Amino acid sequence: MGGMLKRILRHVPAVLGVLLLVGAIYVVQKEFRNLKIADIRKALDAIPRSALIISFVWTLLSYFVLTFYDRLGTIYAGHKVSYGRVSFASFCAYALAHNLGFAAVSGAAVRYRLYAHWGLTPLQIGKVVAFCSLTFGLGGMVLGGIILFLEPQAVPFFGDRIPLWGMYAIGAGLWAIVAAYVTLSRVMGKIRVFGNEVELPGWRMAILQVILATVDVAVTAAIFYALLPAAPGLNYLRFLGVYVACYTAGLAANVPGGLGVFDAAMLVGLDPYLTPPQILGAIVVFRLYYYVIPLFLAGSLFAGNEILLRGRGLLGGPARLRGVQAIGSWSQPDFVAAAGTGAVALCGALLLSLGVLQSDSSITWIDPDFAELVSGASDFVPSLIGAALMVLATALARRVSLAWTLSLVLLIAAAGFTALQGEPLWIAALLLVAALSIAPFHRTFYRHARLLSEPLQAGTVAPLLTLLACIVALAAFAPRLRWLDNDSWWSAILSPNVPNSLRVAVALSVALALLAIWRLVRPGHVAFSPWDAATRMRYLAAGGWDPARADGVVWGEAERAGIAFRRIGRVMLAIGDPVGPAGDRASAVWRLRDLAQQERMDPAVWRAGPGLLGVYADLGLAALPLGHDGLPLADAEDAPGPHATQFLVCVAERDLPALLPLLPDLAGETNSAPDSRIGVTSKA
């Protein structure tokens, strides 16, 4: 029963994200079905230049405030870093985190990469990451309490549904959490949260955290507020209530940048004060200032930093860094995969919204008969492609090669279809740019999909046949829905004028088709081989060394490379790198991670070599240099460490304190294993 509950809880964030996204589509379709792209263009033109300048200045100030998160974090970690370096790390980390969500690896991985080069140990970097994550939440709680006491009716969705005393109680609860945090920082040095021991900062620093976070949220909201025209009844405090609620919904949705959910929530929250085109115009500029421009600027700066370090000989091979091994190979794949995932998801959301944002365009440059044929499909095909791209974006985040191929095909097909439909050409251009942005990076997406990695059997054939049947069914339904103003599949489902039987049939066909796509492109359920005589012989034959104890071996998707592991507390600890053919080792690492997630554990690798550090970094793992005896190298403050050839790779901020005391025993168990064997098997 407990295992089933854990499996259910593991899927709660994903289910919540889907529900919020579906709810956002429904709200936009219902409230703003007559919205036209031309109206948004006029609203953008109506934004004064002075408002654009003020909003840009607020953006600069917002990212400036964020640098002090990292500044305080390094002081809290006990390793003060110069402000220039802190600013660089903060900007790169937050530019990624804002676009991909704080649940993504992005921000933490950037900090590990940069702070390691500047001499912080894994424990210290883990403290910085935890400090920055906590600081943001404190500001939202403080401002949330203020809004709930002063402008409770400004909170969208709940302001007119929860009694006034209830809003006051929620506000008091938020303030109580902040007060408790400051109080505990004063009277206690450490607390345990979800089984992890957390060292609290001093009470003075805790107060600075609260002030800094409050200013940060207030300034970020001002970026958006400056873009809005004056509206009766909409003062800054009321807008702040709308913004905090909508931003929280975007975070809860667990989609890149809160895409779709944040925007729909803002449309609803500001609807009593402004017209939809005015709101959407502000959203476009806000996303450009706060998300898009910083993302590409940070990516360019980070790539330039990597090139500079390589030119100085500080990356690529054994490094002379003290705390965490410099991982020069992760940055490009991780950034490409992250940017590709965001671009495909953005295009999916755009195609889903075409039915809401009605175009005034008509096809005038092709044969009228062919134009009529293409127009007959209307928004049905683009909205289906959009839904498929949203599913494929999830698989891209997991580096699935088939998702890369299908995304390219669908983006190009959607670009051609929207152009032939008479949609504005910038939509087709944007889809083609997204396709071109991921096209050169096939090697970044190296995991095999379930469809291509498993033999054709019931678990593979059934989704494939289901997908084909759903496509045929949807093609048959489309002509019966042409009379709708917006005949996208979700509009047909939500329209009360469509017969219930047809609504159910369309909903079921789309749901089954998307489920089939996901089951075909996702990596399969991970099983492992128990550590028995047969597994041991197979593992040794692949080139592995014989660990004293192991719980099993996870094999790569080609079943040729394997990685032995042990369960230690909440950690699934691999004993060395995968062994076997180089082409299958990366997938073995990913499958170890998937198995650890299935069992609610964290992956880690002891005695990892330098060859696969880029893959480990893709998973957000930090690498601690080890000596030839398998124990951590001395962390001298005044001299760089020796060339490291072995590493402990783990989620440092959570698991390193528990793993370090166990290493002497592990080293004692395997002290007869020749280090040369480890070095040979760890080269990718």
Question: What would the two tokens of residue 230 be?
Answer: 């004056």
CA-CA distances (angstroms) from residue 522 to 308, 452, 510, 515, 516? Answer: 37, 10, 18, 10, 10
Residue 44 in any domain: the answer is yes
pLDDT, tens only, 112-156: 777 877 877 766 777 787 788 777 778 888 888 888 888 777 777
> Are the CB atoms for 318 and 623 separated by under 8 Å?
no
Both 349 and 460 in one domain: the answer is yes
Residue 517 in any domain: the answer is yes
With CA atoms as reference, report the closest residue to 178 among 226, 218, 224, 212: 212
Both 543 and 487 in one domain: the answer is no
pLDDT at 426 over 50: yes
Residue 427 in any domain: the answer is yes
Both 570 and 601 in one domain: the answer is yes
Both 355 and 484 in one domain: the answer is yes
Using DSSP, state whether 442 is helix, strand or coil.
Answer: helix
pLDDT at 57 over 70: yes
pLDDT at 55 over 90: yes
- pTM exceeding the 0.75 threshold for the entire prediction: no
Both 613 and 509 in one domain: the answer is no
Band of pLDDT at residue 4, cut at 50, 70 and 90? low
Question: What would the two tokens of residue 45 be?
Answer: 């033109």
Residue 327 in any domain: the answer is no
Handedness of CA 562, 568, 572, 577 (dihedral sign): negative
We report the CATH number of the domain holding residue 647 as 3.40.630
| Integer Cα distance of 183 and 378 in angstroms | 60
Residue 191 in any domain: the answer is yes
Residue 65 in any domain: the answer is yes
1: Cβ–Cβ under 8 A, 6 or more apart, which residues?
none
Both 409 and 541 in one domain: the answer is no
Both 259 and 286 in one domain: the answer is yes
Count how many domains the chain has: 3
Q: Which of 39-43, 222-226, 233-237 has the highest mean pLDDT?
A: 222-226
| Integer Cα distance of 600 and 585 in angstroms | 23
| Integer Cα distance of 630 and 317 in angstroms | 19
Q: What is the pLDDT of residue 62?
A: 92
Q: Which of 282, 314, 346 is the last residue of a domain?
A: 314
Question: What would the two tokens of residue 631 be?
Answer: 């124990």
Question: What would the two tokens of residue 505 be?
Answer: 């049939």
Q: What is the pLDDT of residue 10?
A: 52
Both 148 and 16 in one domain: the answer is yes
Both 584 and 666 in one domain: the answer is yes
CA-CA distances (angstroms) from residue 72 to 76, 78, 132, 350, 622? Answer: 6, 10, 9, 39, 22
- From 160-164, 269-273, 291-295, 315-319, the region with the lowest mean pLDDT: 315-319
Residue 322 in any domain: the answer is no
Q: What is the pLDDT of residue 586?
A: 82
With CA atoms as reference, report the closest residue to 94 among 121, 123, 65: 65
Q: Which of 280, 314, 348 is the last residue of a domain?
A: 314
Residue 323 in any domain: the answer is no
Both 240 and 359 in one domain: the answer is no
Q: Which of 521, 542, 572 is the last residue of a domain?
A: 521
Both 505 and 587 in one domain: the answer is no
Residue 449 domain boundaries:
333-521
Beta strand residue intervals within 276-418, DSSP E: none
| Integer Cα distance of 110 and 114 in angstroms | 6
Radius of gyration of the chain (CA): 26
Both 516 and 535 in one domain: the answer is no
